[in-house]
Amino acid sequence: MKTDFSIHFHLINSKINNRGLAPIYLRLTVNNKRVEYSISRRLESKFWNPKTQRVMGTNRDSVEINNHIDNLKHKLYKIHQRLIDEDARISSTSMLTLLKGGGKKVRFILEIFKEHNERTDLLAGKDISVSTAKRYWTCYDHVKQFIEEEYSLEDYKLRDIDYRFVTKFEFFLKTVRMCNHNSALKYINNFKKIIRIALANQWMDKDPFYNYKVKFEAVEREFLTSEEVSLLYTKELYFDRLKIVRDMFIFSCYTGLAYSDVKKLSKNDITTGIDGGLWINIKRTKTNTRSSIPLLPVAQEILNKYAYHPDAMNSDCLIPVFSNQKSNAFLKEIATLCGISKPLTTHLARHTFATTITLTNGVPIESVSKMLGHKSLRTTQHYAKIVDRKVSDDMKILKEKLEAQTSINKTKSKKH
């Protein structure tokens, strides 16, 4: 389609400000229809050449304005050619819209969320854990369901996501998906990462998380006492599956390794430490951080026990391990047999190492943090609070004993 197309720059002297500067305007004409647009530059009228439509002089301000005019011209010619190539309708309004940044591809949240997750899957087991990659897909499903049920849409424009969207999504997670407070906020954080990607790519103008505060609730984690650990380790069990799971659990209690790390523990992960003893040196699956843990006698005893087990001899593993689901099911059986009411899980062993085995016995929190492979000491400090609670409970018992003893002594004194 043939179009008459012209660009003209001029001053509007009727809009001179109190500094005597007039604004420069672009007049864009297509097929005798024109639009005017301020190019956000001003100057004194005496420096403007209306014939050349440029600023006179070679100073820095003149050069900058002239370069800006040239860039606008160049962009408009490219826009005009693009519209011709696309056989699109050309008008002064449509060209100006494209010049001002309109007409950009509209991006949708589920679209870029899916792109992110597909890239994350390629890094699973390398830069991030497999469980983290799965969690992003779970969050994607939650966002998808939320958009369908709340807005009756298949996807949602990024530029329309605001603070209200975020708060409604949190409410949806807690009510429809029945997530507890901390779980809901973890999904919110997953979602927030996608928003940060969109903001970094300038697909969004405003951050919907501005003024949104995330505050996790403190969680009191269970752990076994030294008496419960001893009871568990010495309990006579009659099924091999229960013995294996019990030993794996006790091994975690004395090493602090998570289930996934025990499962992948190999002969290459056992090294001779600086003290001449055996150490575990392993990269944690979850955080990819290095954990260095001296082998305590009980842990060494368990490794020796399974040194000639068929699973250990026919592979690189050190301890035979069932799936996490089966292990937790078998641990419930063992807890019942031992009369332990606490909910035994593979992860409870890690809490037990942090509290009962190390901190309670005076191991410095910095050393415990390093052995657990925590990235931040703040993560480990949560266990210190648990130990403080135990100290408080123990001192309460002592206080009651002292008060009872004082009462007895007073009674004796009265008799005399």
Instruction: Please tell me the distance from the alpha carbon of residue 18 to that of residue 260, in angstroms, as a whole number.
Output: 71
Residue environment code for 397-412, b if the CB has 16+ CB neighbours within 10 A, otherwise e: eeeeeeeeeeeeeeee
- 189 sits in which H/E element: helix 181-200
Q: How confident is the model at residue 3 (pLDDT cuts 50, 70, 90)?
A: low
- pTM higher than 0.85: no
Can you name the CATH fold of 226-390?
hpI Integrase; Chain A (1.10.443)
Instruction: Decide: 321 and 246 in contact? Cβ < 8 Å.
Output: no
- What is the reported pLDDT for 102? 61
Q: What is the mean pLDDT of residues 233-247?
A: 93
SS3 assignment, position 272: strand
Q: Which of 379, 394, 343, 130 is nearest to 256 (CA)?
A: 379
State yes or no: pLDDT of 398 exceeds 90: no
Q: How confident is the model at residue 231 (pLDDT cuts 50, 70, 90)?
A: very high
Instruction: Please tell me the distance from the alpha carbon of residue 29 to that of residue 35, in angstroms, as a whole number.
Output: 7
Give me the percent of the chain exceeding a pLDDT of 70. Answer: 92
- 4 sits in which H/E element: none
State yes or no: pLDDT of 251 exceeds 70: yes
Question: Which one has a higher pLDDT value, 131 or 188?
Answer: 188
Q: How confident is the model at residue 388 (pLDDT cuts 50, 70, 90)?
A: low
State yes or no: pLDDT of 191 exceeds 80: yes
Q: What is the mean pLDDT of residues 96-100?
A: 81
pLDDT tens digits, 20-52: 999 999 999 998 889 998 888 889 999 999 999
Outline where DSSP puts E strands in 257-379: 270-272, 278-283, 290-294
State yes or no: pLDDT of 104 exceeds 70: no
Q: What angle do CA 262, 268, 272 make, to 5 degrees?
A: 100
Instruction: Please tell me the distance from the alpha carbon of residue 169 to that of residue 173, in angstroms, as a whole number.
Output: 6
Instruction: Decide: 104 and 204 in contact? Cβ < 8 Å.
Output: no
Neighbours of 228 (CB within 10 A): 20
Of 98-102, 197-201, 341-345, the least confident? 98-102
Domain residue limits, the chain: 5-99, 109-200, 226-390
For the purposes of burial, counting CB atoms within 10 Å of the CB of 235, is it exposed (0-12), middle (13-18) or buried (19 or more)? Answer: middle
Mean pLDDT of all residues belonging to the chain: 87
- What is the reported pLDDT for 215? 84
Q: What angle do CA 22, 23, 24 make, to 5 degrees?
A: 120
C-alpha distances in Å from residue 329, one per residue of 147, 245, 346, 350, 352: 36, 10, 10, 17, 19
State yes or no: pLDDT of 416 exceeds 70: no
- What is the reported pLDDT for 223? 87
Backbone angles phi, psi at 288, to 5 degrees: 65, 25
Backbone angles phi, psi at 385, to 5 degrees: -65, -40
